A and B are shown apart, each in its own frame.
Chain A
Amino acid sequence: MSDIQWIPVEASYKNQLRFGNTVFLGCFFIAAIAAAIWIDKLPTWIPIAIAAGIFVLWFILFVFWAPARCRVTSYALETDVVRFRLGALWHRETSVTHNRLQHLEIERGPVERMLGLSRLKLFTAGGMGSDLTIPGLAPAVSEEIRNNLIAKIRDEVLEDASITSSVDAAESESAESEVNENEATAEQTETKVASDTNDNEQASDSPKAKPE
């Protein structure tokens, strides 16, 4: 789709990927070298070949995969939807609507701090692993996105009617009394969000008093 305005993540995100690969493959590489030196019963060429294979893999990941993945990794902020896509060969595009967000989180690991990056996590109620993580964002950007999202969520009004319901008549009857109730809950959430936005780094916000 051409009309989606994809915003790429920071270019230094590929260094974060490279670092991760290097650490992960480095362990196996060292293990293979160690095996070549100390395990006498094994013909030396086997661990050497494994080590060489790991090196080639690392090289491919370092030179081709990391930039490709970084190029694809991008996000789009639309009026109602947050989209995020990633992958070098296996592409995945995940979308979440604003009215299903449960809470937001900004995370910065040691490597990310070194590279000046941060990660924005959007949590929904879809059970395990149903969150959407946007990595490789500049801290200022992720904070701005988070604050915008919270503001949008705060302005949202939840109707009292349910999506699935067998009671249709009761809904229209009690519609008037529901409006007042909605305003009351909106005010409550506003004060909650205001107190939450004060803390910045590693902060976890509950933008909305949603029924859980």
Chain B
Amino acid sequence: MKSDALDWQRLPLVSLIFFFISSVRLTVKHLYNALPGLVAVFVGLRNLLHWWPVAVGVIFVVLLVATFLRYRRFSYVLEPERIRVRQGVFKRSELNLDYDRIQQADIRRPIWFKPFKLAILQLQSAGSKGSEVEVAGLDDDLAERLQKDILNTLKATDTDAEAAQLDPNAQADFELILPRAEILRVGLIQNALLVVGVLAALLFSNQFVSEYVIDWLESFVDGFASLWQAVVILVGFGVVALILVLLGAVLFFYNQYYGYHLQRNGDRVAYKAGLIGSLSRSFRIPKLQLIEFRQGLIARILQRWQLRILQAGGINDKAEGRFTIPVLNRDNRELVSADLQLPTAHWNRVHKILIPRYWLIPSVAAGWILNPWAGIGVAVAILLLRWLWWRNFAWHYQGGWIAVKSGVIGVSERWAPAAKMQRIRISSNPFSRLFNLRALKIDTAGGTLSIPCMPKEQAERLQQDILALTANNNKRWM
């Protein structure tokens, strides 16, 4: 390695903004984690509290110094096959990432970079969390070219053939543009009710806060002539708050996915979206490990789906880092499925014995602790839910793809190319052996598919088929 000969590049001065924002974010995270300690300080050093402007000032200065140092210590080299990044103030590190290991390449253009025509390039590898590279402040065109080049270097020797296809002016092999009316639906189908639930849970998680809320509620109700009046007003407030949350979600996702445009050229798939800032995300079809169609309650009513494509690694990563198609109607879903070469689904149900699972113990417990009627009620409710679950659950194995569909009210469908399987597990317990049933679990690099309660022969045949398919397939799976 002629490490000395490498041309280490620095970022433009504007990138200081990026480092400042990232430092602020880190500080807030650390402060949040240190909250119990801070409370102790608050209580113990009460008479020193009037010094708080000094403390804030010190933190601010430290932030500025850290920002500058982080900026100074960041440098990168772009080589034909890999990128090297040096960073870190106290703990210096040099990270090498080969382009053909990259699972997904993002270009973010936040609003504060837009006037300078700069972009953030973010590369994800298959390693565990935190193995991603972020280069902030690249020239817009350079970033775009890199994103394309990087995803084409998988086969460095025969890029010429593909390069011809990837002429930017050439017609894309597949294209999907989401109209604004569809993007307005994205916020609706995100299950905004969940946000309300989380807020409520947050309000009542802390005893201090919940007491305060209850006190406030009581005094609020006392202020009215009758209880009914207060209830009507409160419900009104609740509805308004719900509408506000929903509106917020709609606007948030409208901004995020505005002008959604997906293109596939050869093996490279990319989408571009965003109103205030913008994001362009791309990956190569060979890296695909798992496809997930999701549909929440509202999405089901609106007959819309959301698609997520998962690559290897980062199984615990947040959803927003994934390659997403935020809203798909029936026609678009069919188009996308056809382009991904998904076969037509042949769903198989599992054994009905799945229904009474997790049923007896909660019912008996409820009947014993409360009263027998509560027990019966719980039993009926659980049976109903379980029946819904069983009715929605199905699996598919045909055309080289394996799929599992599940959910009670919302439904999620997960598809994986069977030959990309990493590990397959078949399990049984005394009870399932009594009914000659087996559970199958298929691990892929993008996630796990589980099928419970299959007849023994079927499960073993499926296991055998998938193993043979994988063992005889020496094509690249990653």
Residues on A lying within 8 angstroms of B by beta carbon are: 1, 79-81, 87, 89-100, 124-128, 130, 132, 156-167, 170, 173-174, 177-178, 181, 210-212
Determine if A96 and B422 form an interchain contact, defined as CB atoms under 8 angstroms apart.
yes
Q: Which of B33-41, B134-142, B297-305, B423-431 contacts A (4 or more CB under 8 A)?
A: B423-431
Q: Report the minimal beta-carbon distance from A95 to chain B, rounded to whole angstroms.
A: 5
Determine if A100 and B470 form an interchain contact, defined as CB atoms under 8 angstroms apart.
yes
Q: Please report the number of residue pairs spanning A and B whose Cβ atoms sit closer than 8 angstroms.
A: 152
Q: Which of A90, A128, A160 contacts B429 (CB 8 A)?
A: A90
The range of chain B's interface size is 35 or more
Determine if A159 and B474 form an interchain contact, defined as CB atoms under 8 angstroms apart.
yes
Determine if A211 and B474 form an interchain contact, defined as CB atoms under 8 angstroms apart.
no
**B286 beta carbon closer than 8 Å to chain A:** yes
**B296 beta carbon closer than 8 Å to chain A:** no
The 3 closest A-B pairs by CB, nearest first: A80-B471, A162-B286, A126-B422
Measured in the bound complex, the distance between the Cα atoms of B418 and A100 in whole Å is: 13
* 16 pairs of residues in contact across A and B, judged by CB atoms under 8 Å: A81-B471, A92-B426, A99-B470, A99-B471, A126-B445, A127-B313, A132-B423, A158-B476, A160-B155, A163-B417, A166-B173, A166-B266, A174-B161, A177-B157, A212-B126, A212-B313
Determine if B315 and A1 form an interchain contact, defined as CB atoms under 8 angstroms apart.
no
User: A residues within 8 A CB of B312?
Assistant: 125, 212
User: A residues within 8 A CB of B266?
Assistant: 166-167, 170
User: A residues within 8 A CB of B332?
Assistant: none
Determine if B473 and A167 form an interchain contact, defined as CB atoms under 8 angstroms apart.
no
**B109 beta carbon closer than 8 Å to chain A:** no
Measured in the bound complex, the distance between the Cα atoms of B470 and A97 in whole Å is: 7
Q: Which of B100, B422, B425 contacts A92 (CB 8 A)?
A: B425
- Is the contact region of chain B dominated by helix, strand, or loop, or is it mixed? mixed
Residues on B lying within 8 angstroms of A by beta carbon are: 100-101, 125-127, 155, 157-158, 161-162, 165, 173-174, 264, 266-267, 285-286, 288, 312-313, 315-316, 339, 341, 417, 419-430, 433, 443-445, 447-448, 460, 463, 467-468, 470-478
- Is the contact region of chain A dominated by helix, strand, or loop, or is it mixed? loop
Determine if A181 and B157 form an interchain contact, defined as CB atoms under 8 angstroms apart.
yes
Determine if B162 and A125 form an interchain contact, defined as CB atoms under 8 angstroms apart.
no
Determine if B264 and A99 form an interchain contact, defined as CB atoms under 8 angstroms apart.
no
Q: Which residue of B lies closest to A93 (CB)?
A: B426
User: B residues within 8 A CB of A177?
Assistant: 157-158
Measured in the bound complex, the distance between the Cα atoms of B468 and A95 in whole Å is: 11
User: B residues within 8 A CB of A159?
Assistant: 474-476
User: B residues within 8 A CB of A100?
Assistant: 421-423, 470, 477
Q: Which residue of B lies closest to A162 (CB)?
A: B286
Q: Report the minimal beta-carbon distance from A120 to chain B, rounded to whole angstroms.
A: 15
If A98-B471, A170-B162 touch, whether A163 touches B427 (CB-CB below 8 Å) is no
- Residue in A81, A87, A96, A126 whose Cβ sees the most chain B Cβ within 10 Å: A126
